[in-house]
Structure 1
Amino acid sequence: MAHKASAELGNAPIGKLLISQALPASIGILVMSLNMVVDTIFVGQWIGPMAIAGITVVVPLTFLIASIGMAIGVGGASIISRALGSDDQDKAQRVFGNQIVMSFGLSVFFVIVGLIFKEEALALFGANGKILGPAEIYYSIIMYCIPFLALCMTGNPVVRAEGKPKFAMIALILPAIGNIFCDYLFINVLGYGMAGAAWATCISYFICFVFIYWFFFSKHSELKIRLKCFKLERKIVKEITELGGVTLARQGMVSILSIILNHTLFMYGGETSVTMYGIISRMLMFALFPVMGISQGFLPIAGFNYGAGKYQRVRESINISIKYGTGLALAIFAIIMFFPEQIVSVFTDDEVILRDTPSALRWVFLVTPLIAVQMIGSGYFQAIGKAIPALLLTLTKQGFFLIPLILILPQYFGIFGVWVAFPIADLLSTILTGFYLNREVKRNLKTAL
């Protein structure tokens, strides 16, 4: 039989189960997001606005490589959830072994490529003008630690797939605390500037890596790191790739969006607009942490119960997740609408940024109350192993709507066109996702066991 922690995914009340899964995920994402916010505050206050712009350029580039590990982790975790749901422990173990080999090998390869073509990569992602100097310093250090981050991103979804959300939460909290401490030490005390910020981030990646893979060697994990499972199996690799391709495509689209955004912002507003978006992007991650937590908590519940044929529980998990997520999104929306000036003032004392960013922040968050439908809807198809619908719905916001809008609207409305593109894309993608999710539920989740 499946072990107790994973078996509870198929038996415990959905509401209670979602909270038990989502709360640790939310706390973990909160701390990780808070780490990014504090990191940006430290960099902005102790180094300067151009340092924020430099990190804004580099992070999407490095995360594009690390997202290979995320894709392999999320794709494999979907398979593992369903394997545990159908009591196939052997398959779950072999999938995990293949994940580790794939993540390490691919991330090392792309890091080497990224270092060889450093100048071209930085130029592509928008390191223009005064942004280039700090961006190059940060990039040159951070790239060496990306394989550790990739392996962390592979391991964390697997921990959640086992039904161990508290350990997944700790894996996010420990590196965040380490990064904040090292930021203070390297930037403020030792005065290492951008290099200090980069080394602090590298150390945080290594802390996360050590904890996650300690977990898989410990008695707490149902899955173990076994050399015999490192042999790649074509069928498993194919299945991981198909499902993980959704996550990789999403992150790839985010990176393409970052390229277009950084160049568009620089064209219509210069370095200041890139810094403004650096602040807004941190808030997008930080403020939405409760909804992201609900989404992360939903995935193993939906995947396990779908694998076990308990379709009524899958339907219930969808409804409750959207309800909880929407309530949290409304609270976030209210805070952003009422206190944008206070939020921006934490990051910098630059007068231009303080004057222009609050309005932009309001526009970007305008459709926040609807995002739960978007997140749960696209996540559902990935959780149950339907790669094509998951891929298409994942790409709707950035690929089908936001990128075209950012290319078109600034030509008529200037920098305002960039900010207003976000709520329009959110609204359109939510409508589309809601339509397909509703159709899927009516067609394929009729039978309950």
Structure 2
Amino acid sequence: MKEQSQRLGTQPIPKLLANLSIPAMIGMFVMALYNVIDTLFIARGVGILGVSGVSIGFPVMMIIMAIAAAVGIGGASVISRRLGADKKDEADLVFGNVLIMIVLISSVGFIGAFTFLEPLLTIFGATENIMPYAKDYLFPIMVGSLFFSFAFATNNIIRSEGNSRFAMITMIIPAVLNIILDPIFIFGLDMGVQGASIATVISQATVSIVVLNYFLKGKSSLTVRRAALKLQTKIIKEIITIGMPAFIRQVAGSAMMIAINLMLIKFGGEFEVGVFGIVQKLAMFTIMPMIGVLQGMQPIIGYNYGAQNYERLKETVKLGMKVVTIISGGIFVLMMAFPNVLMMIFTGDQATIETGAHAIRIMFAFAVLIGAQVVSGGLYQALGMAKPAMILSMARQVLFLIPLVLILPNFFGVTGVWLAFPAADLLAFILSMIFLYRDRSLFFKPKRGASNYETAPS
């Protein structure tokens, strides 16, 4: 087993969490920066309708990412526990199944680009004015879905074996390439929204080649073996069971955006959809550092759970919770103090700035609670406890946010859409604390505690 995996059970937790989380945070930060800059170029080069088109098409991209997340994160959880139990051959077999699943699933996206793209966008809320921009953005994305799926899934696999530095590099490469290519395609070649999409596909294809080389050249703790490249029902079931919360979380994000876009069009108009497109990218930017901390925590938790080292598991949970709470507190201060400045990065239109600043202050009213929500579901996922992980992953977006988005605008108009966010944050935080309290024997005692939930087989 490579040293990068062995250190998960030996290195001091503060140093180990920093070594794993900081690269993940940097990678997530750069990816989020790319998303912000991508939207900035579209807003400046195409206009608010271009941003609206991306906002309508983005949920489809999120579904592709959701499937990759289910396979990648589920596979990563299984692999980290196999490595912790010193079952390297079984870890290779899981990895082989992940690769085959990626190829099979991404073929659906490719076919969909040529068959049901426009009806799909209509269902997702594209109006006559928005449709051309949405199609221009989404067609290249669906054609290149293999690259997205492979890069997104394998990033989690790489992190599961403890190689956070390379995982960070695989996020930075496409983000930097995208930032470079965006102005060339959008402005230089005058390709508008489609230029941004093509730049994204090229960037993901490039990093896919880098990642493939990493596995084929023996730099990984995992080995790509022909014998492992065959689907096994038991392994697929375990991957999907553990990855399902991530899938639900991503699909819920897609459903959330669809619901929001529909309600904004109903109670406002295409202008508000564009404003939300900008605010939503800022929201993604702020949550990325906390996801980075979680990604650093998960391989430590999974490995030490597999090795039955519960004292290290407890220490990781406590430290991670402290860090994400500090980060979410900083986000709250930033969003309350400088919403106008943040909006001015994207546009000089005063109406857009004022509407966006108003939305930001409402949406982030309970931002300080976000960190605990992000970590809680991820903890159960890393342990292979599918049921609580799924419930907590569904909580904010499915159980609370989507119903509130559909209900509150009927009483408060467009402002009701913004109010749904802090209400959902509060309710999801309360639910996550209830779950963690019920399983405190597992997380906060240096012994294997009994859980109220069924643990996936390892």
TM-score normalized by the length of structure 1: 0.97
One-letter amino acid matched to 2:235: I
Instruction: Indicate conservation of the 8 Å contact 1:78/1:382, yes or no.
Output: yes
1:228 aligns with 2:227: yes
Q: Name the counterpart of 1:16.
A: 15
Distance 2:75 2:442 in 1: 26
Map 1:120-199 → 2, pairs under 5 A: 120-199=119-198
Q: Partner of 2:272 in structure 1? A: 273
| Higher mean C-alpha displacement, 435-444 vs 164-173 | 435-444
Matched with 1:40 is 39
C-alpha distance in 2, partners of 1:385/1:357? 40
Counterpart for residue 112 of structure 1: 111
**Corresponding residue for residue 409 of structure 2:** 410
Query: Contact (CA 8 Å) 2:304, 2:312: kept in 1 or not?
Result: yes
The aligned length equals: 448
Q: Which amino acid aligns with 1:414?
A: G
Tell me, in whole angstroms, the C-alpha distance in 1 between the residues paired with 2:443 and 2:67. Answer: 31
2:262 alignment partner in structure 1: 263
Instruction: Tell me which residue corresponds to 1:325.
Output: 324
Q: Aligned partners of 1:375, 1:187: CA distance in 2, in Å?
A: 35
**Alignment correspondent of 1:297:** 296
What are the superposed Cα offsets for residues 57-86 of structure 1, whole Å, 9 maximum, x if unpaired?
111112202321121000000000101111
Q: CA deviation at 1:38?
A: 0.5
- The range that moved more, 188-197 or 375-384, is 188-197
* 1:282 aligns to 2:281 (yes or no): yes
Report the counterpart of residue 74 of structure 1 in structure 2. Answer: 73
Which stretches in structure 2 are left out of the alignment for 5+ residues?
449-458
- 1:435 is displaced (CA, Å) by 1.3
Indicate whether 1:389 and 2:388 are aligned: yes
What amino acid is the match of 1:75? G
Distance in 1, Cα, partners of 2:443 & 2:293: 23
1: CA distance, partners of 2:447 / 2:391 = 28
Residue 215 of structure 2: aligned partner: 216
For the 8 Å contact 1:43–1:52, the answer to whether it is kept is: yes
Q: Aligned equivalents of 1:366 and 1:114: distance in 2?
A: 39
**1:443, distance to aligned residue in structure 2 (A):** 5.2
Does the CA contact (< 8 Å) of 2:314 and 2:443 recur in 1?
Answer: no
Mapped to 2, the partners of 1:306 and 1:71 lie a distance apart of 21
Whole-angstrom CA distance in 2 between matches of 1:413 and 1:129:
27
Letter in 2 for 1:440: D
Q: 1:420 and 2:419 equivalent?
A: yes
Q: Aligned-pair distance for 1:225? A: 2.0
Distance (Å, rounded) in 2 between the aligned partners of 1:328 and 1:446: 26
Equivalent residue, structure 1, for 2:456? none
- Determine the C-alpha separation between the residues in 2 that align with 1:160 and 1:34: 21
| Partner in structure 2 of residue 249 of structure 1 | 248
Corresponding position: 1:311 with 2:310: yes
Quote how far apart the aligned CAs of 1:216 are.
0.9
CA distance in 1, matches of 2:247, 2:114: 21
Give the secondary structure class of the aligned counterpart of 1:288: helix
How far apart in 2 are the matches of 1:356 and 1:70?
Answer: 33
Displacement of 1:250 = 1.3
Percent identity among equivalent residues?
38
State whether residues 67 and 153 of structure 1, in contact with CA within 8 Å, keep that contact through their aligned partners in structure 2.
no
Aligned residues of 2:109 and 2:143 also touching (Cα < 8 A): no
Corresponding letter in the other structure for 1:335:
L
Question: What amino acid sits opposite 1:38 in the alignment?
Answer: I
Q: CA separation in 2, counterparts of 1:285 and 1:406?
A: 18
| Aligned residue identity for 1:266 | I
Secondary structure of the structure 2 residue equivalent to 1:130? coil
The answer to which of 140-149 and 70-79 deviates more is 140-149
Return the offset for 1:438: 2.2
1:111 is displaced (CA, Å) by 3.4
Report deviation, 1:447: 4.2
1:190-211 CA-partner distances (Å, limit 9, x unpaired): 2111221121111111122112
**1:444 Cα offset (Å):** 6.8
**Equivalences for residues 438-449 of structure 1 within 5 A:** 438-442=437-441, 446-448=445-447
Give the Cα separation in 1 of the matches to 2:348 and 2:443: 54
CA drift at 1:445: 5.7
CA distance in 2, matches of 1:440, 1:169: 32
Look up the equivalent residue of 2:338 and give its one-letter code: F
